[in-house]
Amino acid sequence: MRHKILAAAGLAALTLAVPAHAVESPPSGIPPSEFATQYSGCLGQLRSLIAQGDFAGVGPFGQHFTGLVNPGAHQGTVGEEEFLEVVIGIPADELAAFCAQFARDKNEDRAAVVRGMSEVVVVTGSSSGIGRAVAQRFAREGACVIVNSSRSVEEGEALARSLPDAVYVQGDVSREEDAQRLVAAAVERFGRLDVVVNNAGTTKRVPFQDLEGADDELWQRIIGVNVMGPWYVSRAAVPALREVKGTIVNVGSVAGIVAGGSSLPYAVSKAALHHLTRTLAQALAPDVRVNAVAPGLVETPWSVGWEANEAVIGRTPLGRMAMPEDVADAVAFLARTPFATGEVFVLDGGLTLF
């Protein structure tokens, strides 16, 4: 990268010495109150390079500043007022293009640092089934993994022991304090958090027509785990994820897309999770990406012996149910695709084509 990443001087400090007429007409026509926020990192970096006479570091853009210092002479400082007066006179499109490139270079540097370190991944509900496959997938790729379950403690501990660098944290994500403790354990143990996979879920087989069977207790439990759990974990994780441009992947279901699934409360909970995915993606961009995978029928302990299995497979163009590893592949794909956010990726073997 050509730009030297130096401690950027805040533009708010620069504006203290700016003449009134300069502040009234900032680049791109943005209000003066937003000028410092939008351009501070870029212009602080630019001023540092110009002060050192590093015109090579800013390329042709440096021609605007040749009158401030002698090229190649390391002067060490550039007058704030003089610098900002030059900036005000630069065409808005040139300034925007330079700052956009600066942002891309900075992100590339950060990504290179991240690639040189092990990712830290929290996978909720990972003692069996989909969550287990997701934890194993990330671990094979060198990630540090936090395994979690609410009840299957022995299975969770055994999985953590089997992975190269993992720790087990027991907790019910429908309880906010447990969700916070799970995230805190990841940061305290590994010093960072890159990926959150909200996989923990619960259901009960109740025919849609059995309205009495979908009682308040069932609704509260399913919504608590399947919707509030991802919300609590995600909210607790956001500060750490922002630091590394991290990502959240929620495990939804085609039951949240079509009128089907193990129970009415379950279908509603997955539809809510899909919408939480989209709204969080909007709220957290550009710092944190949020996506979801929506599997169809998956071979897990939950689906064993379900009388509808054969009928569902019969309607699936690919002629089988998904394996947990299929879902893990999709989760890893979404976690590693830097331009994807707000997506609900349907993984159902073509079931919902008809």
Q: Do 227 and 88 have their domain in common? A: no
Residue 2 lies in a domain: no
Do 91 and 206 sit in the same domain of this protein?
no
Considering the domain boundaries, does residue 138 fall inside one? yes
Residue 126 domain-assigned (yes or no): yes
pLDDT computed for residue 232 by the predictor: 98
Please tell me the predicted confidence (pLDDT) of residue 86. Answer: 74
pLDDT recorded at residue 11: 34
* Same-domain status, 255 and 108: no
How high is the pLDDT of residue 115? 44
Which of 39, 168, 232, 266 is labelled catalytic? Answer: 266
Examine the domain organization and report whether 186 and 126 are in the same domain. Answer: yes
Q: What is the pLDDT of residues 282-329, one digit of tens each?
A: 999 999 999 999 999 998 877 777 778 888 999 999 999 999 999 999
Look at residue 118 in the predicted model and tell me its pLDDT: 82
Q: What are phi and psi of 262, to 5 degrees?
A: -70, -25
Contacts of 340 (CB under 8 A, 6+ apart): 289, 291, 334
Same domain, 63 and 201: no
40, 161: one domain = no
pLDDT score recorded for residue 28: 44
Judgement on whether residues 100 and 206 belong to the same structural domain of the protein? no
State which H helix or E strand residue 264 sits in.
Answer: helix 264-284
Q: Count the domains in the chain.
A: 2
Q: 227, 272 in Cβ contact below 8 A?
A: yes
Distance CA 272, CA 187 (A): 28
d(CA 185, CA 171): 11
Q: Which residues contact 115 (CB under 8 A, 6 or more apart)?
A: none
**Residue 1 domain flag:** no
Mark whether 248 and 272 lie in a shared domain.
yes
* 82 and 159 part of one domain: no
Residue 243, in any domain of the structure = yes
Sign of CA dihedral 239, 240, 245, 249: negative
One domain, residues 129 and 109: no
In angstroms, the CA 36 to CA 82 distance is 17
On whether both 229 and 348 belong to a single domain, the answer is yes
- Output the domain CATH number for residue 313: 3.40.50.720
- Tell me the pLDDT tens digit for each residue of 244-254: 999 999 999 99
Domain boundary among 79, 114, 149: 114
pLDDT at residue number 78: 56
Active site residue 266: yes
Q: Looking at the domain assignment, is residue 5 inside a domain?
A: no
In a domain, 4, yes or no: no
Nearest to 309 by CA among 320, 318, 293, 294: 320
Q: What is the pTM of this model?
A: 0.68
User: Which residues span the domain enclosing 75?
Assistant: 11-114
User: What pLDDT score does 287 carry?
Assistant: 97
Q: Which residues in the chain come in under a pLDDT of 70?
A: 1-63, 65-84, 92, 100-117
Domain ends where: 97, 114, 131?
Answer: 114
How much is the pLDDT for 54? 54
Question: In this structure, are 181 and 268 located in the same domain?
Answer: yes
End-of-domain residue from the set 91, 114, 137: 114
In a domain, 34, yes or no: yes
